[in-house]
Chain A
Amino acid sequence: DAGITQSPRHKVTETGTPVTLRCHQTENHRYMYWYRQDPGHGLRLIHYSYGVKDTDKGEVSDGYSVSRSKTEDFLLTLESATSSQTSVYFCAISESDRSSQYFGPGTRLTVL
Protein backbone atom coordinates (compact mmCIF):
# COMPACT_ATOMS: atom_id res chain seq x y z
CA ASP A 1 0.00 0.00 0.00
CA ALA A 2 2.69 2.45 -1.09
CA GLY A 3 4.22 2.76 2.37
CA ILE A 4 1.19 4.10 4.20
CA THR A 5 -0.01 2.78 7.51
CA GLN A 6 -2.91 3.81 9.66
CA SER A 7 -3.39 3.20 13.36
CA PRO A 8 -5.46 1.97 14.94
CA ARG A 9 -7.21 -0.14 12.32
CA HIS A 10 -10.31 -0.54 14.44
CA LYS A 11 -11.58 1.49 17.36
CA VAL A 12 -14.74 1.56 19.42
CA THR A 13 -15.24 4.55 21.67
CA GLU A 14 -17.97 6.36 23.53
CA THR A 15 -19.64 9.64 22.73
CA GLY A 16 -17.75 12.60 24.14
CA THR A 17 -14.33 10.98 24.29
CA PRO A 18 -11.36 12.31 22.31
CA VAL A 19 -9.96 10.13 19.55
CA THR A 20 -6.77 10.46 17.53
CA LEU A 21 -6.08 8.56 14.34
CA ARG A 22 -2.58 8.37 12.95
CA CYS A 23 -1.38 8.17 9.38
CA HIS A 24 2.26 7.38 8.72
CA GLN A 25 4.03 7.38 5.34
CA THR A 26 7.49 6.34 4.24
CA GLU A 27 7.26 7.86 0.74
CA ASN A 28 8.23 11.44 1.63
CA HIS A 29 5.18 12.75 -0.26
CA ARG A 30 4.29 16.36 0.33
CA TYR A 31 0.49 16.02 0.36
CA MET A 32 -1.52 14.05 2.89
CA TYR A 33 -5.28 13.73 3.16
CA TRP A 34 -7.93 12.44 5.53
CA TYR A 35 -11.21 11.17 4.09
CA ARG A 36 -14.24 9.52 5.55
CA GLN A 37 -16.30 6.99 3.66
CA ASP A 38 -19.96 6.43 4.40
CA PRO A 39 -22.69 4.57 2.52
CA GLY A 40 -24.55 6.93 0.22
CA HIS A 41 -21.90 9.65 0.52
CA GLY A 42 -18.88 8.13 -1.11
CA LEU A 43 -15.50 9.51 -0.13
CA ARG A 44 -15.47 12.95 1.49
CA LEU A 45 -12.42 15.04 2.30
CA ILE A 46 -12.05 16.08 5.94
CA HIS A 47 -8.69 17.90 6.01
CA TYR A 48 -5.53 17.87 4.00
CA SER A 49 -1.94 18.97 4.38
CA TYR A 50 0.40 20.43 1.78
CA GLY A 51 3.48 20.45 3.95
CA VAL A 52 4.72 20.37 7.53
CA LYS A 53 2.45 22.59 9.64
CA ASP A 54 0.44 23.51 6.50
CA THR A 55 -3.11 22.23 6.62
CA ASP A 56 -6.48 23.22 5.26
CA LYS A 57 -10.10 22.19 5.59
CA GLY A 58 -12.03 19.87 3.34
CA GLU A 59 -15.76 19.66 2.83
CA VAL A 60 -16.62 17.92 6.14
CA SER A 61 -14.14 19.41 8.61
CA ASP A 62 -16.52 20.32 11.47
CA GLY A 63 -15.67 18.36 14.61
CA TYR A 64 -12.22 17.37 13.35
CA SER A 65 -8.75 18.85 13.71
CA VAL A 66 -5.43 17.77 12.23
CA SER A 67 -1.76 18.26 12.84
CA ARG A 68 1.36 17.60 10.82
CA SER A 69 4.58 18.20 12.72
CA LYS A 70 6.65 15.87 10.55
CA THR A 71 6.51 15.01 6.86
CA GLU A 72 5.71 11.38 7.59
CA ASP A 73 2.88 11.79 10.12
CA PHE A 74 -0.59 13.27 9.77
CA LEU A 75 -2.88 13.07 12.78
CA LEU A 76 -6.66 13.38 12.77
CA THR A 77 -8.31 14.25 16.08
CA LEU A 78 -11.93 14.10 17.07
CA GLU A 79 -11.99 16.36 20.13
CA SER A 80 -15.31 14.99 21.38
CA ALA A 81 -16.54 12.06 19.34
CA THR A 82 -20.18 11.87 18.28
CA SER A 83 -22.18 8.99 16.82
CA SER A 84 -22.31 10.80 13.47
CA GLN A 85 -18.54 10.34 13.27
CA THR A 86 -18.90 6.58 13.09
CA SER A 87 -17.28 5.84 9.76
CA VAL A 88 -14.33 4.37 7.92
CA TYR A 89 -11.45 6.83 7.76
CA PHE A 90 -8.84 6.73 5.01
CA CYS A 91 -5.55 8.51 4.80
CA ALA A 92 -4.01 9.21 1.41
CA ILE A 93 -0.78 10.71 0.12
CA SER A 94 0.33 12.26 -3.14
CA GLU A 95 3.38 13.94 -4.58
CA SER A 96 1.43 16.93 -5.88
CA ASP A 97 -2.11 18.23 -5.55
CA ARG A 98 -3.19 16.92 -8.94
CA SER A 99 -1.30 13.64 -9.08
CA SER A 100 -2.59 10.21 -8.19
CA GLN A 101 -3.23 9.47 -4.55
CA TYR A 102 -2.17 6.39 -2.61
CA PHE A 103 -4.46 5.22 0.12
CA GLY A 104 -3.89 3.57 3.46
CA PRO A 105 -5.84 0.51 4.61
CA GLY A 106 -8.41 2.51 6.58
CA THR A 107 -9.56 2.80 10.18
CA ARG A 108 -13.01 1.66 11.16
CA LEU A 109 -14.26 3.90 13.98
CA THR A 110 -17.43 3.21 15.93
CA VAL A 111 -18.76 5.81 18.34
CA LEU A 112 -21.35 4.43 20.73
Chain B
Amino acid sequence: SQQGEEDPQALSIQEGENATMNCSYKTSINNLQWYRQNSGRGLVHLILIRSNEREKHSGRLRVTLDTSKKSSSLLITASRAADTASYFCATDERAQKLVFGQGTRLTINP
Protein backbone atom coordinates (compact mmCIF):
# COMPACT_ATOMS: atom_id res chain seq x y z
CA SER B 1 0.00 0.00 0.00
CA GLN B 2 1.12 3.55 -0.66
CA GLN B 3 2.17 5.33 2.50
CA GLY B 4 3.10 8.69 1.07
CA GLU B 5 -0.02 10.75 0.57
CA GLU B 6 -0.03 13.91 -1.49
CA ASP B 7 -2.45 16.74 -0.99
CA PRO B 8 -4.23 18.09 -2.94
CA GLN B 9 -4.89 15.43 -5.56
CA ALA B 10 -5.26 18.12 -8.20
CA LEU B 11 -4.30 21.79 -8.32
CA SER B 12 -5.00 24.37 -11.01
CA ILE B 13 -3.42 27.82 -10.89
CA GLN B 14 -2.58 30.74 -13.16
CA GLU B 15 0.84 31.10 -14.69
CA GLY B 16 3.08 33.15 -12.47
CA GLU B 17 1.41 32.07 -9.23
CA ASN B 18 3.07 29.83 -6.68
CA ALA B 19 2.03 26.19 -6.29
CA THR B 20 2.25 24.31 -3.03
CA MET B 21 1.85 20.56 -2.67
CA ASN B 22 1.99 18.56 0.52
CA CYS B 23 3.02 15.04 1.38
CA SER B 24 2.42 13.08 4.56
CA TYR B 25 3.94 9.77 5.60
CA LYS B 26 3.54 7.35 8.46
CA THR B 27 6.83 5.99 9.78
CA SER B 28 10.36 7.23 10.30
CA ILE B 29 12.45 7.99 7.24
CA ASN B 30 16.03 8.70 6.26
CA ASN B 31 15.06 10.85 3.32
CA LEU B 32 12.11 12.07 1.27
CA GLN B 33 12.20 12.70 -2.45
CA TRP B 34 10.04 14.59 -4.92
CA TYR B 35 9.54 13.55 -8.54
CA ARG B 36 7.79 15.08 -11.53
CA GLN B 37 6.01 13.17 -14.27
CA ASN B 38 4.97 14.78 -17.51
CA SER B 39 2.11 13.14 -19.34
CA GLY B 40 3.18 9.90 -20.98
CA ARG B 41 6.72 10.05 -19.63
CA GLY B 42 8.74 8.46 -16.85
CA LEU B 43 9.26 10.11 -13.49
CA VAL B 44 12.07 12.63 -13.12
CA HIS B 45 13.84 13.16 -9.82
CA LEU B 46 13.58 16.74 -8.56
CA ILE B 47 15.01 16.92 -5.08
CA LEU B 48 16.00 14.78 -2.09
CA ILE B 49 15.81 16.06 1.47
CA ARG B 50 17.35 14.14 4.35
CA SER B 51 15.68 13.67 7.70
CA ASN B 52 18.15 16.02 9.40
CA GLU B 53 17.37 18.83 6.93
CA ARG B 54 14.44 21.20 7.29
CA GLU B 55 14.53 23.04 3.99
CA LYS B 56 16.14 22.66 0.60
CA HIS B 57 16.12 24.76 -2.56
CA SER B 58 16.70 23.98 -6.20
CA GLY B 59 16.01 26.78 -8.64
CA ARG B 60 12.31 27.66 -8.31
CA LEU B 61 11.68 24.66 -6.07
CA ARG B 62 11.60 24.82 -2.31
CA VAL B 63 11.08 21.70 -0.22
CA THR B 64 10.47 21.63 3.50
CA LEU B 65 10.43 18.66 5.83
CA ASP B 66 8.84 18.46 9.26
CA THR B 67 9.70 15.09 10.76
CA SER B 68 7.67 15.79 13.91
CA LYS B 69 4.55 16.09 11.76
CA LYS B 70 5.74 13.50 9.24
CA SER B 71 5.06 15.87 6.40
CA SER B 72 6.79 17.66 3.56
CA SER B 73 5.81 20.41 1.17
CA LEU B 74 6.96 21.29 -2.33
CA LEU B 75 6.67 24.91 -3.38
CA ILE B 76 7.08 25.92 -7.01
CA THR B 77 7.47 29.66 -7.34
CA ALA B 78 6.56 31.77 -10.37
CA SER B 79 4.91 28.83 -12.11
CA ARG B 80 5.19 28.31 -15.86
CA ALA B 81 3.12 26.34 -18.34
CA ALA B 82 5.95 23.80 -18.52
CA ASP B 83 5.43 23.00 -14.84
CA THR B 84 2.16 21.28 -15.73
CA ALA B 85 2.73 17.71 -14.59
CA SER B 86 2.05 15.26 -11.80
CA TYR B 87 4.24 15.51 -8.73
CA PHE B 88 5.01 12.59 -6.45
CA CYS B 89 6.69 12.30 -3.11
CA ALA B 90 8.56 9.14 -2.19
CA THR B 91 9.96 8.00 1.13
CA ASP B 92 12.38 5.29 2.16
CA GLU B 93 10.02 3.97 4.83
CA ARG B 94 10.80 0.41 3.80
CA ALA B 95 14.26 -1.04 3.44
CA GLN B 96 15.58 -1.16 -0.13
CA LYS B 97 12.39 0.34 -1.52
CA LEU B 98 10.91 3.75 -2.11
CA VAL B 99 7.24 4.19 -1.33
CA PHE B 100 5.49 6.58 -3.71
CA GLY B 101 2.36 8.56 -3.10
CA GLN B 102 -0.41 8.81 -5.65
CA GLY B 103 0.64 12.25 -6.76
CA THR B 104 -0.68 15.76 -7.19
CA ARG B 105 -1.79 16.71 -10.68
CA LEU B 106 -0.73 20.33 -11.28
CA THR B 107 -2.17 22.39 -14.13
CA ILE B 108 -0.76 25.81 -14.96
CA ASN B 109 -3.21 27.94 -16.91
CA PRO B 110 -1.82 30.58 -19.29
Instruction: Sort chain B's interface into a size bin.
Output: 20 to 34
Given contacts A45-B97, A97-B96, contact A90 B30 (CB under 8 A): no
Partner of A42, one of B48, B95, B103: B103
B31 on the A face (CB < 8 A): yes
The smallest C-beta distance from B32 to any residue of chain A, in angstroms, reads 11
Complex Cα gap A17–B104 (Å): 35
Contact A42 B43 (CB under 8 A): no
A70 on the B face (CB < 8 A): no
Partner of A48, one of B43, B44, B88, B97: B97
Contact B30 A42 (CB under 8 A): no
Query: What total of A-B pairs shows CB separation below 8 Å?
Result: 55
Q: How many residues of A contact B (CB 8 A)?
A: 26
Partner of B42, one of A1, A31, A40: A1
Complex Cα gap A97–B20 (Å): 28
Partner of A59, one of B1, B48, B103: B1
Smallest Cβ-Cβ distance to B34: which chain A residue: A100
Smallest Cβ-Cβ distance to A35: which chain B residue: B100
Binary contact readout A83-100 vs B (1 if CB under 8 angstroms, 0 otherwise): 000000010100001111
Complex Cα gap A45–B97 (Å): 8
Q: Which of A23-65 contact B (CB under 8 A)?
A: 31, 35, 40-45, 48, 50, 56, 58-59
Binary contact readout B1-30 vs A (1 if CB under 8 angstroms, 0 otherwise): 110000000000000000000000000001
Contact B41 A106 (CB under 8 A): yes
Smallest Cβ-Cβ distance to A96: which chain B residue: B96
Residues of chain A touching chain B, judged by Cβ–Cβ distance below 8 Å, are 1, 31, 35, 40-45, 48, 50, 56, 58-59, 90, 92, 97-106
15 A-B pairs within 8 Å (CB atoms) are namely A35-B100, A40-B102, A42-B100, A42-B101, A42-B102, A43-B88, A48-B96, A58-B97, A90-B42, A97-B97, A100-B45, A101-B98, A105-B42, A106-B40, A106-B41
